[in-house]
Structure 1
Amino acid sequence: MSYIEASHYAQHYKDALLHDVVPFWEQHSLDLEHGGYFTCLDRSGKVYDTDKFIWLQARQVWLFSMLYNEVEQKQQWLDMAGSGAAFLRQHGKDAHGNFYFSVTRSGAPLVQPYNIFSDCFAAMAFAQYAKASGNGTYRTMAKNTYANILKRKDRPKGHYEKSTGNRPLKNFALPMILSNLVLELEDVLEEADIKKTVDFSVREVMEVFLQKESGLIYENVLPNGDLHDSFEGRLINPGHGLEAMWFMMDIGVRSGDEALIAKATDTMLRILDYGWDQDHGGLFYFMDAQGHPPQQLEHDQKLWWVHLEALVALAKAYEHRPGEHIAQWYQKVHQYAWQHFPDPEHGEWYGYLNREGKPHLTLKGGKWKGCFHVPRAMYQCWKTFDRIAQKHKLTT
């Protein structure tokens, strides 16, 4: 990849972020009456449901705070972040400090805090907004929320757990998200606390859920790390694995661990090889490790976030370990994603394509898709390709 190519990609992602994706959410998502954000937006940005999903509220607070901190100190971005932060502070959690899954437009609780993913994104949001606003109250809230997450991590659903315990599988999502969350909270936590969680996350991701024989990451394993022959035990989620690998690369950069970066790169390539649809292109959503019919009816859909995580992982892998194979994979995923997901008429990206790559739903936001994966990936790819271009410039 030449200096010109890297510069082109950097400008491409910067333009998409600042002139397409961010303006879409600025224009359509802010709730001027009750605070926070509308996330259920149709293709054109019209609100079709006003319920508020706490993890999406928190993700958007994080996003606009991050833009303010890292891109430009625009008052509009700080105000956008502040609206969501205040809404979360007032309506997001129960009396025990656990964050709900969803609330009404005005903030009345709808769905109880049955897992801790809302809490994880709330902690990220508060930490980033505290940095942007200088408000120490939110810094304290970030620290307290993180402490509550650690307290619940061994039994994250608490009394909302539906499992009887006869098949005690543990899930990949929590160690994956903790590996990123703890780096997001670097300004809030002590170094010893960061190291403890980083070490736990790397061990779980790269030694427990990553299987040596297949080179794949399984979504669920038994407590001792063994596999289980069941729907849940055979489940592969390529997007989760790819996202986790760029988290591992970031940890490797922070700690100077070249071996971790190399292992994450190799795992990323294995997941791409395994998860790519050879007939229609794109990455599958869910797969069964033994080739059996997956339980999820949406298993063969092509989802926005899966391809975005692949693009971020590939860009970072090329930055640290440049090579033709990674470059070819990047161009392959880039071409598929940019040909199928963006909506040139109304902006932003479609979230859900059928297996053939046509929009299955034309919404831009809903219960699961909000202002997070698209702009985060645009920012990450922009900055990564900018660094790649600068390295080329210095060596030529």
Structure 2
Amino acid sequence: MKRRGFIGTSGALAFSAILPGCSAGGTPERVSDRKEKQKKMTISAIAGLTVRELLENYRSYLYDDFLPFMDKHVVDHERGGFMTHADRRGNLLSTTKRAWYDGRGLWVYSFLYNNLGNDPSHLEIARKTTELLLGMRPADGEFWPWSYTREGQPITGTLPDIYGNLFIAEGLAEFSKVTGDQKYYDISKEIVISCFNLYDRADYLHAVTYGPDADQLTGPRILGHWMVFLKVATTLLCVKEDPAIENIADRCIDALMNKHYMPEFDLMIEVLNHDMTVPEGPFAQFCYAGHIIEVLWMVMDEALRRKDKGLYDLAVKRLKRHTEVAWDDVYGGLFRCLENIDLNIWQVDKVLWEQAELLIGTMNMIEHTADPWAFCWFEKTYNYVMENYPLKKHGFPLWNFSGDRKMTFVEEYERIENYHHPRHLMLNILSLERILKNGNRPLFPGNKDSIDT
């Protein structure tokens, strides 16, 4: 795989003079001048690699590393689903499965089949996982079990939550594109609406276990919930227009961009009261940067679907702000959890999924707007990730999932992550392929797929 420590550009993408600080000063550029420059732009390099070299790296991470490991160790080819409770060598620690990870895996293999090669083996994995999950479908208003045996028998002990249902809905929405069968779309829609109705109840209970207070909250509004609702809604709306799902998407956008945003901080907070007011106590100061950086590229994605440039630009602005606040200037990488904004108290662990979400968001910006900031921050994050997360230098396949502030290597680990990592690889492969197809030019202005036509 190719790696070089410089950025090569041509035409209007000669940004090297402003890269050290990742921002440009001086007189603001007129919109007409900016658009004229954009017409002449070519994207010759990203993170010191040609677009094709970077694409080949991404393909290798997916096809030579992730998928073979999954196929050999994690995918249950006999019964469907994913046995993610395994160590770095692929040894199964148990055959227990979880609704979260099976729903996520269903989305991954359905999306893989739909967008990257139509491999029948990927379709078969998605089909068997669908059969396993629908064989356990609970009554309306109830949740899939938190975990279950390899055969699909519920395991008691941990209360299930709304996310399991929503990840399954997301997987079924993508699977409906594979088959063209309306019933999978309908089941996904039914799950989403049932969950949304539950979420709208004042007596809805949820514990924000990653926050400053792990007790169950009554009737909370949670940024992470809006995030997954929006992701599923966008997936469904890409299949067909649907007023009920459009309404859910609208409410998600309003909650995320208006209600959870706190102007006094210029930051978004994770938890609100049921009536969308700011809660008393520690949650008033709780900014979960990982979810925010993740959801903002999803807002960008929904804005592209709607061709809403104002929404896209606002999401970009917020993504920049939260990235710069969450970046560790000492050791590199993004912190995920700001427990108290005023006191600047952070949890200082590092997780791969948050870095991956920024790589998705910045690649989206590069593809659509060729924003200089995006080139800079993609390079910073990509180089940090390449130095710290691939496990090849330690003699193992795959990438590390999490670690301490310095990403100190720990040999033993108990879970194979099957969603954020492959999603990052697949989405950025598709972006890079589109950049090449478009003649190494950003998509706007004037392109039929542009948000700025």
TM-score (norm 1): 0.89
Contact residue 127 and residue 184 of structure 1 kept, 8 A: yes
2:155 counterpart SS class: strand
Contact residue 204 and residue 220 of structure 2 kept, 8 A: no
Match 2:134 to one of 84, 89, 92: 89
Contact residue 354 and residue 360 of structure 1 kept, 8 A: no
Q: Which residue of 1 aligns with 2:407?
A: 357
Q: Which residue of 2 aligns with 1:316?
A: 364
Contact residue 10 and residue 384 of structure 1 kept, 8 A: no
> How far off its partner does 1:291 sit?
2.5
Q: Which residue of 1 aligns with 2:81?
A: 36
Match 1:234 to one of 285, 288, 308: 285
Give CA-to-partner distance per residue, 1:268-314, whole Å, 9 cap, x none.
Answer: 111111111122111112112123546xxxx2111010110011011
Alignment CA distance shift 1:219-1:347 (3 Å) = same
Q: Which residue of 2 aligns with 1:215?
A: 266
Alignment CA distance shift 1:124-1:113 (3 Å) = farther
Alignment CA distance shift 1:7-1:250 (3 Å) = same
Residue 235 of structure 1 aligns with an amino acid whose one-letter code is: F
Structure exhibiting the larger radius of gyration computed from Cα positions: 2
Match 1:150 to one of 193, 196, 203: 196
Contact residue 54 and residue 92 of structure 1 kept, 8 A: no
Q: Which residue of 1 aligns with 2:56?
A: 11
Q: Output aligned runs, 1:173-192, within 5 Å.
A: 173-186=224-237, 190-192=241-243
Contact residue 79 and residue 129 of structure 2 kept, 8 A: no
Alignment CA distance shift 1:183-1:159 (3 Å) = closer
Q: Which residue of 2 aligns with 1:290?
A: 342
Q: CA RMSD in A?
A: 2.5
Match 1:301 to one of 339, 344, 349: 349
2:151 counterpart SS class: coil
Q: Distance in 2 between matches of 1:156 and 1:131?
A: 35
Q: Distance in 1 between matches of 2:245 and 2:411?
A: 40
Q: Distance in 1 between matches of 2:407 and 2:223?
A: 28
Give CA-to-partner distance per residue, 1:78-133, whole Å, 9 cap, x none.
Answer: 11112211111113535755322211222221256642111111111122223223
Q: Quick check: 1:378 aligned with 2:425?
A: yes
Q: Quick check: 1:45 aligned with 2:90?
A: yes
Unaligned runs of 5+ in 1: none
Q: Quick check: 1:68 aligned with 2:120?
A: no
Residue 386 of structure 1 aligns with an amino acid whose one-letter code is: E
Residue-pair matches, total: 386
Identity %: 22
Q: Which residue of 1 aligns with 2:163?
A: 117
Q: Which residue of 1 aligns with 2:100?
A: 55
Q: Distance in 2 between matches of 1:187 and 1:389?
A: 24
Q: Distance in 2 between matches of 1:362 and 1:270?
A: 35
Residue 129 of structure 1 aligns with an amino acid whose one-letter code is: F
Match 1:264 to one of 304, 312, 315: 315
Contact residue 350 and residue 362 of structure 1 kept, 8 A: no
Give CA-to-partner distance per residue, 1:311-332, whole Å, 9 cap, x none.
Answer: 1011112223323222111100
1:287 counterpart SS class: strand
Residue 44 of structure 2 aligns with an amino acid whose one-letter code is: Y
Q: Which residue of 1 aligns with 2:175?
A: 129
Alignment CA distance shift 1:24-1:380 (3 Å) = same
TM-score (norm 2): 0.78
